[in-house]
Every structure is written in structure tokens, then in C-alpha cells.
Structure 1
Amino acid sequence: MSALSGKISGRSGHRAEASYAGADERRVLPRPLRRVVRFTVALATGRIYIPRHIGTVSTFAFLGVVGLYGMSVGGHTEVVAQSVTASAGFAIEDVRVSGNEQTSEIDILQMLGLDGTTSLVALDIEAARKKLAELPWVEYAEVRKVYPKTIEVMLKERQAFGIWQHGDELSLIERNGKIIAPLRDSKFATLPLFVGRDAETAAASFEQELAGWPELKNRVRAYVRVAGRRWDLHLGNGVVLKLPERNVDQALAVLSRLEAEQGILERDIAAIDLRLGDRTTVQLTAGAMDRRKEALEARSKALKKAGVDS
């Protein structure tokens, strides 16, 4: 029994060694290459069905991908998208603008670059809004698409507070002193005029300080900033009021009293100096000075004549 077992085990051991040796001699391809080889064999033997015109479709797809890549590299993607979508019926034909009093619709169209072929689909809303915000009068802009061919533009414009003269230039300014645009016409002639360095930034606070003196404020033609510290008020009749750096209300109270008692602002004077709290200086005009001189000379002659006669 033991001898039989020995024979059997010897034969099986020999076969196992032979199979291991065969496995070692056989080459095994990596897994990805096995799939490629199996697909190639199946394709060659006709076991895989290839639809008709697959080559044509693949060629056009390849050319399309290459074209898109070329447009992307060359920066022409937006132009092509504009042209295609506009031809498809999405060209902007109507622009509705609201909130514009000083900004013309022509300026809006030019800033947006609308030429009749601009596509609504390809229009960049955020870029359009930023462009409109560059217009002088525009404080804030909103742009909305209304398919298929309309855009709505809603503006919030800046408010002109006064006119600032700096050198030979006249500019419209906001209440905070920021320049809006150069003054081009006379429709803003009723706004107050502020003259001098730093006048635009100090204008609003001083104008508010004069709110308690409405009668005087209505007579002011120009506010002139002197040395960045104080103001001279130029009235419509040519009189100049020289105000102090501080205690402006106190100086205006003195002026109001003089006007009530003597009508000083209606007299033939050139300037009233209110800079000193303990006294007020009045400067006569050149004509008034001549007339006063003539009156004094005539009075002196009359006194002399009266003395001689007596």
C-alpha cells in the first residue's frame, strides 16, 4: 500500500513541476495592454460592428475640437459666439433706458458697443454694468436681459450740488466735493459758485452754516475760499463780505443788525470787513470815495466862508 502511494505521489509531483515550469516560460501582458489586444483582434475578425459614416463624423468632430481650441488660443471665442447667436435670432434690437436725466442714450449705446449685431446671449452683464459706471453722471447702473432681443438699463445718476471754479476751469461737483463733469452749458447757472483751493470740499458744510441766514444766502453770487481757511461772500450787487475764520454766526449777526438799522448793503460800498470781532470796517467804492472827497471839500469851503463872513 505504501509503495502504491509512493508511485502516485511521485507522478503528481512531476506533473506539478512541469506546469510551474510552463507558467514561468509563458509571457503575461499588463492588464491595459490585454484590453487593447483583445479589441484589436475583435476588430480585425469582424466581431465588432462599426456604424456607417463613423469616419466622417469622427473627422468633423476632430476638426471641430481643433477649431474650438484655435479660437480659444486666438481669443476669438466671444466673436464667434456673438455671430452665431445673433444669426440665430438673439441680436439686440431694443434698449430700454430709465433713470437718465443728464446721460444721453447715445452715450449709453456707445459705451455698451451695441451696433445692431450684438448678441443678447453673449452679452456680459457685469462688464456692461462696469462700463456704464464709467460715464460721468452715472453713480450706479443695472443691466437686465429680456429675451429674445431686449435689454433694460436702469441708472442712478449723481446729483449736482454746485459749481467749482479752479483756475480757468468750471466743474460741477457733488455735495461731497467730488467732480462730476466740466460745466458745458448754462442750465446749471442757478447752482452756487465756489471759488478757490479746497472750496469744493468745504462747500457743503459752509452752505449748511448759512442756512440760518436765508435772506443773505439768496443774495450771494459766489463763495470764495481764501487761503483754505475762511470765506469771502460776493453779493449780487458787487459788495464783498469778508468773514472770519471762526465765529461766522457772530459776524453775520453784526451784519444783520447793521442792515436792519442802516441798510448798509444797499449803500455805495465795496466791502464790509467782519474778520475782527470788536469792530467792523467798511470800504467805499471808488465813486463813493470821490463823491465823499468832493463833499468834504465843499463843506470845508463852506465853513471857511461862513467864518470869514462872521
Structure 2
Amino acid sequence: MSSDVRFTDFKSDKQPTWCPGCGDFGTMNGMMKALANTGNSPDDTFVVAGIGCSGKIGTYMHSYALHGVHGRALPVGTGVKLANPDLEVMVAGGDGDGYSIGAGHFVHAVRRNVDMTYVVMDNRIYGLTKGQASPTSREDFETSTTPEGSKQPPVNPLALALASGASFIAQSFSSDAMRHTEIVQKAIEHDGFGFVNVFSPCVTFNDVDTYDYFRDSLVDLAEEDDYDPSDREQAKDAILDADKEYMGVLYENEDSVPYSERHGLDSDMSDIPDGAPEDAMDLVREFY
């Protein structure tokens, strides 16, 4: 950990090729600022990304990084964290990558509660493949492959996380730089799996879920005096509220015990030697 690191230390020399105005710029900047604010440095940070526009983020951030395959970023991040617990592991994905082909991995990553951070750039569309409906697209959202709308209700990732036993659930907006940074920072500081769904507008293919829409519709929980993020029932009501969308920490279990502590994992899994005790090998087999 370093106390004098700046967020610009996390910028690589590769120039982003996202569309001008893409919400992913703000999402990434907030991630870098949050990492710097928590005292992390590029030398102790590992960024894992999947496929989609979000998958490019490991190239644009100066840290250890791995660009995985579609929907598989979370198991890679889990392996990295267990192999080297001293690393700050941040997994980045999109709504298509995380809530479609990667949905099964999402559920199990949530329930395992490995101490890492998962940031999902939710633009409610498949942007990299030119604008198809994603798991979080509106039911009536018209695209080239769903000209009459998908006619399927969108996935509620916050509800899925809560039902899976999440210890930290938050939502942010890429355009609100200060709040977004603050929310991601809280996820990093949380002891366990920190999940942040980020509204990151696609300016090229989604003309419905725009910057203006989120600015006008989002309710910031920081301004709700009676909201208690440690109250799971209150969090459930907010997450299932069909009339409002919230920004902030919706739920945090302050008594969260990360996976490594529950299993008494006090050394790197990468250091387990040949002929290790059977109980140690059982721990490895759980992931394969």
C-alpha cells in the first residue's frame, strides 16, 4: 500500500478507443481515484476484465491485468485473489458480460464473499456488437435484433445479488464523479465481495437510458435521512421498488466475514506444495 499514490498513476499509456461521450470514461476514472484514495498502487492492484466495451479497461489502466473470455471475469478474479491475497483485485464487466453468460458465476462469486470488488458498467445494451438488447434492456426497447422489443422483463442485478447473499450492494452513475468515486471506494474498503452496478450510458446505441434520464430519475440514498444500508429488509424494498432507481450503498453487512477468513486460509494458495494435506486440496477443488 502507498499513501502518496495519485489516481493518474493508474493511467496507462494506451489511449481509450471508446466512443466520445461513453460513460465508461467516468466509470474508469472513478475506479482509479477510489484505488488511489484507499492507498493502493499499481504494483498491488490486479484488474480483470471480460468481453465487451468494458473489457478494454485493463488495457487503459496501469496495473496488473488480464483480459479474459466472455462471462468468465469473476472466476479469474477469484483465482487471483486466492493465489495472492495481498493484491487488490478489481473485476470489471458489462451488463451483457456479467448478467447473461456470466450470471452463474456472478451468483457464486456473491455467495462465496471473496474479498474483491466487482464493478459492472451497465449501459443496458450490447455496445461492442453494435446495439443488441442486453439482460438489463427495457422490455419495450427496440433494437436491430428485437425490432418490437425483447418482450422480456429486464434482469434486476441488485435483487439477484441480494437473493444470493451479497454482503455489499451499491449502485452509482458514471457522470456523478464524486459520488461514483465514493461508492466504489466503499466497495473496496468492504471486507468481502463489493458489488457496484454503474449506470454508464452508451451514447451510440442507446437513446433511451441517457445521461439526462439518469440525472433526472436517480434518487441518491445519501439524501434519504431515514435509509439504513445495514437494514436488509429496507434494502429489499428499495431494490424491488418499481417506481424508483437508487444511487448509493443499498446494503452492507457490517459483520461480513470474507471467504478466506471463514476457511482459515492464511497463506497463498499458490504456495500449496505437492503432497499438501487433503483438506488444503479440498479447498482448491471447490473451484474446479
- TM-score norm. by structure 1 comes to 0.19
Q: Which has the higher strand share?
A: 1
Q: Which has the higher helix share?
A: 1
Bigger Rg, which one: 1
Higher relative contact order (CA 8 A, sep 6+): 2
